């Protein structure tokens, strides 16, 4: 009996339990997550930060908002690739110029008397020229397929093709380099002769390198179309250092033109990401690390990263290469 009495005295009443319980912590994100979807909005679309091991609160969004985020990411991915391909193109041209400049300096201070030294020089120049030609071809082909989701009229592909065609029509050097790329793919190397440039105004231009018409004739001219091949007949040789500079100048002009064409939709895409991140923070959390947009809670693979740090790379490259290439003193031989 004593045992039963003691047991009864320590059992708390329901009222005592209710009085001792602490009120639940409030959180605006948790409140949003608990809300029923508004009329006309499908359940499951949401924002959530954190990682799989430590997920944060959920913020519901509409299907329209999810699709806007998806569209924005596609644009930003294309915009980054667009700038990276141009940076790679410039890097290959810089490497060619650095090689040619090194050869020019070497020619001023050393005697070139061996076939071995000449062969090394030709091999280095051929490697750099072929890298430039291949990168340029990849740039032209791939850029046309960028920004397919951009709301532009005419479509981006059409405007890109028009810009490249305009440069092809305007520049003999552009037409030659395009044909040369096709030519070296089929029959021969691009560099056939390295010679001093007597009209050079600086030591950096003391040596240049040429393609020879006779080399194309011997191996066929499959790389050049009939119209361009007819143009070539007026020349015996083609200064590849000069033509590479003119070619890269033309491609640079196209890139800046195309960047301006997509500037507005790309800026809008960046704005969508920034507003989405701000909205998540304002709703009740100070961190949006790992933020993703989900199409459905049960389909975690259908998610879109809502991050902007990676897009800073695009912005940095665009600022670095903001202007078309100004050849200036690099073209003294045209005077």
The residue-averaged pLDDT of 188-211 equals 84
Please, what's the b/e burial string for 171-209 (b: 16 or more CB within 10 A of its CB; e: otherwise)?
bebbbbbbbbbbbbeeebbbbbebeebeeeeeebbbbbb
* Residue 166 confidence class, pLDDT cut points 50, 70, 90: very high
| Digit-coded pLDDT (tens) for 212-257 | 999 888 666 678 999 999 999 999 999 999 999 999 999 999 999 9
The residue-averaged pLDDT of 59-85 equals 95
The residue-averaged pLDDT of 33-40 equals 39
The region of weakest confidence among 56-60, 163-167, 210-214, 329-333 is 329-333
Residue 59 has pLDDT above 50, yes or no: yes
Check residue 282 and give its pLDDT.
86
Check residue 55 and give its pLDDT.
63
* Residue 205 confidence class, pLDDT cut points 50, 70, 90: confident
Residue 83 has pLDDT above 60, yes or no: yes
For the entire predicted model, the pTM comes to 0.82
Q: State the Cα–Cα distance between residues 78 and 12, nearest whole angstrom.
A: 65
Residue-range domain boundaries for the chain: 80-262
Q: For residue 158, what are the CA distances in angstroms to 40, 85, 267, 273, 309?
A: 38, 19, 21, 28, 31
The residue-averaged pLDDT of 121-136 equals 96
Residue 71 has pLDDT above 80, yes or no: yes
Which strands make up the sheet holding 55-60, listed edge to edge? 55-60, 46-50, 292-294, 303-305
Provide the 3-class DSSP secondary structure of residue 50: strand
Check residue 16 and give its pLDDT.
41
* Residue 198 confidence class, pLDDT cut points 50, 70, 90: confident
Contact between 121 and 150 under an 8 Å Cβ cutoff? The reply is: no
* Residue 115 confidence class, pLDDT cut points 50, 70, 90: confident
- Those residues whose C-beta lies under 8 Å from the C-beta of residue 261, and which sit 6 or more positions away, are 152, 156, 159
Alpha helices in the chain (DSSP H): 2-9, 14-20, 28-34, 63-109, 115-143, 156-170, 172-186, 213-218, 226-232, 240-282, 311-320
Beta bridge partners of 195: 208
- The first and second tokens of residue 84, run together, are 């990276």
Residue 18 has pLDDT above 50, yes or no: no
Residue 43 has pLDDT above 60, yes or no: no
Residue 285 has pLDDT above 50, yes or no: yes
Q: For residue 235, what are the CA distances in angstroms to 2, 94, 188, 198, 313?
A: 120, 27, 18, 19, 44
- Those residues whose C-beta lies under 8 Å from the C-beta of residue 83, and which sit 6 or more positions away, are 313, 314, 317, 318, 321
Check residue 332 and give its pLDDT.
52
Distance of CA 87 to the CA centre of its chain: 8
Check residue 58 and give its pLDDT.
84
């Amino acid at each position: 009996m004593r045992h039963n009495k003691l047991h009864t005295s320590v059992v708390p009443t329901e009222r005592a339990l209710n009085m001792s319980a602490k009120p639940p912590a409030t959180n605006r994100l948790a409140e949003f997550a608990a809300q029923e979807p508004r009329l006309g909005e499908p359940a499951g679309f949401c924002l959530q930060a954190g990682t799989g091991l430590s997920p944060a609160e959920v913020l519901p969004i509409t299907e329209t908002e999810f699709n806007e985020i998806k569209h924005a990411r596609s644009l930003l991915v294309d915009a980054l690739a667009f700038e990276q391909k141009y940076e790679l193109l410039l890097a290959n041209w810089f490497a060619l110029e650095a090689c040619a400049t090194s050869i020019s300096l070497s020619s001023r201070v050393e005697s070139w008397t061996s076939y071995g030294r000449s062969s090394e020089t030709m091999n280095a120049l051929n490697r750099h020229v072929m890298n430039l030609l291949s990168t340029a071809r990849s740039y032209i082909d791939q850029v046309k397929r960028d920004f397919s989701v951009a709301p532009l009229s005419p479509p981006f592909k059409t405007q890109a093709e028009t810009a490249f065609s305009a440069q092809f029509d305007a520049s003999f050097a552009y037409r030659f380099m395009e044909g040369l790329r096709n030519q070296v793919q089929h029959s021969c190397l691009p560099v056939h002769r390295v010679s001093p440039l007597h009209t050079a105004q600086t030591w950096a231009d003391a040596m240049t390198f040429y393609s020879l018409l006779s080399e194309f004739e011997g191996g066929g001219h499959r790389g050049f179309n009939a119209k361009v091949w007819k143009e070539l007949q007026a020349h015996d040789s083609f200064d590849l250092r000069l033509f590479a500079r003119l070619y890269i100048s033309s491609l640079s002009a196209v890139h800046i033109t195309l960047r301006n064409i997509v500037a507005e939709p790309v800026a809008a895409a960046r704005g969508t990401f920034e507003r989405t991140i701000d909205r998540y923070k304002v709703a009740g959390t100070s961190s949006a690390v790992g933020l993703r947009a989900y199409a459905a809670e049960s389909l975690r693979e259908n998610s879109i990263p809502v991050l902007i740090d990676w897009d800073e790379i695009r912005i940095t490259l665009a600022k670095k290469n903001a202007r078309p290439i100004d050849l200036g003193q690099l073209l003294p031989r045209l005077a």
